[in-house]
Amino acid sequence: MLDKSSKIYVAGHNGLVGSAIWNNLKNRGYNNLVGRSHKELDLTDQYAVKKFFDEEKPDAVVLAAAFVGGIMANSLYRADFIMMNMKIQCNVISESYAHGVKKLLFLGSTCIYPKNAPQPMKEDCLLTSPLEYTNEEYAIAKIAGLKMCESYNLQYGTNYIAVMPTNLYGPNDNFHLENSHVMPAMMRKVYLAKLINDNNWEAIRKDLSIRSVGANIKENGETVRYVIDGNSDEATILKVLAFYGIENNKVTLWGTGTPLREFLWSEDMADASVHVLLNVDFKDIIGIEKYSSVHYGNKADGVVDRNHSTGRGGAIPSLGEIRNCHINVGTGKELTIRELSELVVKAVGFKGTVEFDASKPDGTMRKLIDVSKLHSLGWKHKVEIEEGVEKLFDWYKESLR
């Protein structure tokens, strides 16, 4: 059990979810928090991670750090998506075990589920059919992460919980057009198209000064790399923005607009995460009342003696197969990408047109999750999508000041 003095390491504390979890813990009176920026600690560096755990010795870990992006980024950087995420997870989870961390919360994604999974997707549809190809590497990495948590619990009696959030949005979201998710990318595109129509170059340059935009554009048979910021000339700015479907009073989005998506406000996700961290144990998920958290074998010398086990470990035939111990986190509600664009247009006050390029991929057509397990563990969302889109645009405007 974690108390208010417990030292909690939030990996990825500057990110969308990590920052919200940090603030949620603070608001609950948990002030012994530890965070490191990527510059301060590279989680893909095994030796640096070990050194950090040697020095800090956290009681609990929230693994919210990840290498993330949308369809375009997943398509361009497939090797990076699987390798970077696997390194982060392996390093943090293995060092958590080596240093006796009491509780670990691993954040994944609902992209772990098969492309054609029955809707809404229950936890037990994991690994039942092929994944969506466009984000397969990221999904495989996250499946490995949740399986690490599950397997450490079963072999070593640890208390590592994996939560799988639906599409998230909120304060500190990533609005960089090359690698952001659907909602922030859409919102920024609509906003910039409006500014072009308003001939508000001061605001356009302010936006680009804070978040520069890069693009690889084919010209005369060659690929030219452009990076624009607030100091770039107007012609180059317009060329690069047009590459992303941003024009004068017109935005072109990828796909048909028909896929259905579920969205969860990041601060709701943080609240769900902290609720699970503080109130839910592995035994609560698998339904075993007498679950020992005592590590078995001799951890110091790495030898596991199953004949002298002092706690849960390995496969217990009488319990049957234990799998799918992760928890879906979402709203259980969905809307089409086109309907989302209409909410964004309304929030931004955009009077232009939004078109969809059907030659570009849609990704999975539907990704609604079943949240009955989460509800049974005592948590439900608070922010509905209509309110959330307005809140996100308010935050984005504030970030430009």
Give the tokens for residue 16: 């969308």
Structure letter (DSSP) for residue 296: -
| Dist CA 7 CA 91 (whole Å) | 19
What is the C-alpha to C-alpha distance for residues 281 and 61, in angstroms, rounded to an integer?
Answer: 14
**Neighbouring C-beta atoms of residue 2, cutoff 10 Å:** 16
Q: Which string of b and e fits 20-37 if b means at least 16 CB within 10 Å?
A: bbbbbbeeeebeebbbbe
- Is the separation of the CB atoms in 275 and 268 below 8 Å? no
Active site residue 169: no
Measured between alpha carbons, how far is 362 from 359 in angstroms, rounded to an integer? 9
What backbone torsions phi and psi does residue 252 show, to the nearest 5 degrees?
A: -110, 125
Q: How far is CA 191 from CA 253, 352, 393, in A?
A: 13, 11, 9
Distances, alpha carbon 3 to alpha carbons 60, 276, 278, in Å = 11, 14, 9
Contact 285, 161 (CB under 8 A): yes
Q: Alpha-carbon distance 365 to 113, whole Å?
A: 13
Question: 103 phi and psi, to 5 degrees?
Answer: -145, 135
Q: How far apart are CA 74 and CA 68, in angstroms?
A: 8
Whose CA is closest to 245, among 222, 219, 213, 292? 213
The tokens for 243 are: 């590459």
Q: Are 18 and 27 in contact (CB under 8 A)?
A: no
Please tell me the distance from the alpha carbon of residue 392 to that of residue 347, in angstroms, as a whole number. 9
| Catalytic choice (9, 138, 160, 191) | 138
Task: Give whole-number Cα distances, 212 to 229, 231, 271, 393, in Å.
Answer: 5, 10, 32, 19
Looking at the annotation, which residues are catalytic? 138
